[in-house]
Amino acid sequence: MTTVGTAVDSYLRHVAVERGLAVNTVAAYRRDLGLYTAWLAVDSPDDPPRPITDLRSVTRRHISSFVQHLGLRAEAPLTAASIARVLSTVRGFHRFLLDEGLVEADVAHDTKPPKLALRLPKAISIEQVSALLAATDGDDVQRLRDKALLELLYATGARVSEVVNLNVDDVLVEVFDSVRLTGKGDKQRIVPVGSFARAAVSDYLVRARPMLSARGRSTPALFLGLRGQRVSRQNAWLIIRAAAERAGLTVPVSPHTLRHSFATHLLAGGADVRVVQELLGHSSVATTQIYTLVTIDTLRDMYTTAHPRAR
């Protein structure tokens, strides 16, 4: 009999090596399965009974009860979106168990996640983006770096992890009109870079990065911290929050806000949704189409305000 822990380790190796999922995604799977296996291990007389030490004993009722537990647990109930994510991980795990012959049936296959409320991406206006970027103006090494970082995030719509993981070799200064981004599943895409971001990154490479690099060990990282190390996702978040405060923005601003704004502004300007899909690195156009709802809402508001017979 394969132990629960051994089965989980085998699944995580499978998604990391054979499916090539990103380190952060594998870490999220590990956390999700940690919740699941901890719940299975609890001694409970409730129907269905626990603990479970043999995964062949897990039933559909166990999966349904676990999903209910996630939304009702006293310490920190999960949102519908988080429950759906955890259930997706658990379903993938049980599908793996069946494929490997470790169980006789996929008991998680038919379990449905809770319905998700439609949440529109939170974008900020072009004027607010301009104010945010202007708040990084300056000639010291930190401001030069911050401007290059924010300009590149907005110019490419990249995920913050994609930008902080960039190396200098991913940016060809001589013909710097695009950047090579590595997204989820290590999939690479080439994204054009506009003139403002090109100028900011070039200034940073010439005037700031050499000074930052001298403060630490040699690294190929494009964006460096004040001690010469690669800027982390957390550092990027703090940089953006500080810029938003200097700009006097009263709305929450995060690295993903710039990604949302990039997509929303492109679609509002007439870009085709499939082009935006490619730029964002979405595997499905359905993920990108949610941004069209934002621009439709904006058009509806303008119509209601401007048309004499709209109200």
Out of 29, 36, 154, 291, the active site residue is 291
In this prediction the pTM is 0.64
Out of 145, 260, 265, 282, the active site residue is 282
Q: Residue 10: its pLDDT value, please?
A: 96
Out of 159, 198, 209, 265, the active site residue is 159
Centre a 10 Å sphere on the Cβ of residue 267 and count the other Cβ atoms it contains: 22
Q: Residue 303: its pLDDT value, please?
A: 47
Better-scored residue on pLDDT, 191 or 212:
212
| Per-residue pLDDT tens digits for 228-282 | 999 999 999 999 999 999 999 999 998 889 988 998 888 888 888 888 888 888 7
Rounded Cα distance between 262 and 267, Å, is: 9
- Does the active-site annotation cover 112? no
- Does the active-site annotation cover 94? no
pLDDT for 189 beyond 50: yes
Whole-number Cα distances in Å, 219 to 147, 159, 207, 223: 21, 21, 17, 10
Out of 62, 198, 259, 260, the active site residue is 259
5: three-class secondary structure by DSSP: helix
CB 269 within 8 A of CB 239: no
Out of 30, 85, 122, 184, the active site residue is 184
Quote the DSSP letter at residue 223. Answer: S
Domain boundaries, the chain: 4-100, 126-306
Rounded Cα distance between 70 and 173, Å, is: 49
| Per-residue pLDDT tens digits for 140-175 | 999 999 999 999 999 999 999 999 999 998 886 555
Give the rounded percent of residues in the chain with a pLDDT score beyond 90: 58
CATH topology of domain 4-100: DNA polymerase; domain 1 (1.10.150)
- Indicate the helix (H) or strand (E) that contains 179: strand 178-182
- Does the active-site annotation cover 259? yes
- Does the active-site annotation cover 36? no
Please report where in the chains the tokens 């945010």 appear, as a residue: 132
Q: How many residues does the chain have?
A: 311
- Give the number of C-alpha atoms closer than 13 A to the C-alpha of residue 224, restricted to the C-beta side: 23
Out of 60, 69, 95, 256, the active site residue is 256
Q: DSSP readout, 152-177?
A: HHHHH---HHHHHT-BGGGS-STT-S
The class level of CATH for 126-306 reads mainly alpha
Residues contacting residue 178 through CB under 8 Å, at least 6 positions apart? 190, 191, 192, 193
- Does the active-site annotation cover 291? yes
